[in-house]
């Protein structure tokens, strides 16, 4: 048989090899950034920016559908509504730790904590380790990085700022709310916003909190809708009368407008979802929590 002659069997074998080589090349190209295989296959999107704002002490039915919260309900209508979102305990402070670190870290009350008492993994430390930018913006804080317990006659409270409890999160990443960027593209990948004790609805009305969200974060929400970014509005706990069911609304371009999910989610699921958006490790109970799904645009 001439050297150049190819039998059908040899031709088929060569064809399979070429196809296999092509598939492997695509995978290699994806690994070098030609496409994100993780993003393509994952259950959650990867926003350019996520802003999480935490309000206080109201049950689902006190806000969702309430005429006192027209702006928050407009975010619900134009974004996604979690119908069964739950806090994990009472009072406030342990819920903040649960959302930020996947654990209450042994915190059981609202007393001021010793700064840096824990070295446990948390969202801030994970993002920093992954090379992502992280910051918090705290209304009424006396200065950037201040660990003072209270300020402005109690309107500012350290108990709503769990990042101070971790020595693996730089205190400088805790900014005042006046440092919230006016050019939203300058925001870090993930940031938390903590209103003061009036504007988070703790000491003032639902209407006061709704107006604050519209005034201070409405511009970002509008921008997020066209800039692959996300606003998450949630509550620390309910009013202790409704099984700890709380409002949680997500709004922005990655969200399918008008969507809702009946799945039960808690603080750990929200933490897990943000971690998976940026490919970090999982802190505490987030490791076994499900991602939030069924509300994302582009089939996610």
pLDDT for 30: 33
Q: What is the CATH number of the domain that holds 68?
A: 3.40.720.10
Give the 3-state secondary structure of residue 221: helix
Residue 66, token pair as written in the block: 């309430």
Same domain, 11 and 97: no
Does residue 17 sit in the same domain as residue 138?
A: no
For residue 67, tell me if it sits in a domain. yes
pLDDT, residue 44, reads 97
Phi-psi region of 242 (alpha: psi -120 to 50; beta: other; left: phi over 0): alpha
Average pLDDT taken over every residue of the chain: 89
Q: Verify that 71 and 172 share a domain, yes or no.
A: yes
Whole-angstrom distance, CA of residue 236 vs CA of residue 173: 21
User: For residue 299, is it within any domain?
Assistant: no
- Are residue 181 and residue 233 in the same domain, yes or no? yes
- State both tokens at 37: 């295989």
The pLDDT of residue 43: 87
Same domain, 68 and 104: yes
The answer on 109 and 8 residing in a single domain is no
Per-residue pLDDT tens over the stretch 189-244: 999 999 999 999 999 999 999 999 999 999 999 999 999 999 999 999 999 999 99
Torsion region of 208: left, alpha or beta (phi above 0 gives left; psi -120 to 50 gives alpha)? alpha
| CB of 133 closer than 8 Å to CB of 114 | no
Q: Please tell me whether residues 92 and 186 are part of one structural domain.
A: yes
- Report pLDDT for 177: 98
Distance CA 51, CA 263 (A): 22
Picking from 271, 140, 266, the residue whose alpha carbon sits closest to that of residue 203 is: 140
The low-confidence residues of the chain, meaning pLDDT below 50, are 1-41, 300
Q: What is the pLDDT of residue 12?
A: 41
- Is 74 in the same domain as 179? yes
pTM of this structure: 0.86
* DSSP H/E element including 156: strand 156-157
Alpha carbons 255 and 298: distance in angstroms, whole number: 9
Phi first, then psi, for residue 126 (nearest 5°) are: -65, -45
* Domain interval for residue 13: 1-35
d(CA 240, CA 237) in angstroms, rounded, equals: 8
Helix count (H) and strand count (E) of the chain?
8, 11
Same domain, 243 and 108: yes
Is residue 298 a part of any domain in this protein? no
User: How far is CA 207 from its chain centroid?
Assistant: 24
Does residue 132 sit within a domain?
A: yes
Residues 276 and 171 in one domain: yes
Q: How far apart are CA 152 and CA 231, in angstroms?
A: 27
- The secondary structure element, H or E, covering residue 232 is strand 229-235
The pLDDT of residue 42 is 57
70 located within any domain: yes
The answer to whether residue 143 is domain-embedded is yes
Residue 208 inside a domain? The answer is yes
Q: Are 20 and 48 within one domain?
A: no
Domain co-membership, 8 together with 129: no
Q: C-alpha angle 215/203/141, rounded to 5°?
A: 65
Q: Angle between the 206-224 and 70-78 helix axes, to the nearest 10 degrees?
A: 30
Quick one: CA dihedral 260, 261, 267, 268, positive or negative? negative
Number of domains, the chain:
2
Bridge partner list, 156: 151
User: What pLDDT is attached to residue 298?
Assistant: 76
Give burial (CB, 10 Å; 0-12/13-18/19+) of 167: middle
Does residue 297 belong to any structural domain of this protein? no
């Amino acid at each position: 048989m001439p050297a150049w002659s190819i039998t059908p069997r040899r031709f088929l074998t060569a064809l399979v090899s070429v196809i296999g080589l092509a598939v492997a090349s695509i995978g290699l190209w994806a690994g070098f950034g030609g496409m994100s295989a993780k993003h393509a296959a994952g259950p959650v999107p990867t926003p350019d920016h996520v802003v999480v704002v935490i309000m206080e002490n109201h049950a689902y039915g006190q806000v969702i559908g309430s005429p006192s919260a027209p702006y928050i309900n407009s975010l619900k209508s134009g974004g996604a509504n979690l119908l069964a979102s739950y806090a994990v305990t009472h009072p406030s402070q342990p819920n903040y730790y649960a959302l930020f670190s996947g654990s209450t870290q042994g915190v059981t009350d609202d007393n001021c904590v010793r700064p840096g008492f824990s070295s446990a993994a948390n969202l801030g430390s994970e993002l920093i380790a992954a090379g992502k930018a992280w910051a918090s913006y705290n209304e009424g804080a006396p200065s950037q990085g201040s660990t003072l317990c209270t300020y402005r006659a109690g309107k500012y409270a350290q108990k709503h700022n769990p990042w101070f409890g971790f020595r693996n999160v730089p205190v400088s990443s805790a900014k005042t709310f006046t440092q919230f960027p006016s050019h939203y593209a300058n925001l870090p990948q993930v940031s938390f916003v903590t209103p003061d004790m009036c504007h988070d609805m703790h000491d003032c009305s639902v209407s006061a909190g709704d107006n604050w969200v519209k005034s201070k974060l409405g511009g970002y929400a509008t921008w997020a809708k066209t800039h692959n970014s996300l606003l998450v509005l949630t509550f620390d706990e309910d009013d202790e009368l409704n099984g700890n069911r709380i409002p949680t609304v997500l709004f922005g371009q990655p969200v399918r407008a008008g969507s809702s999910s009946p799945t039960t989610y808690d603080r750990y699921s929200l933490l897990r979802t943000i971690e998976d958006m940026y490919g970090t490790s999982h802190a505490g109970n987030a490791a076994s929590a499900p991602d939030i799904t069924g509300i994302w645009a582009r089939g996610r």
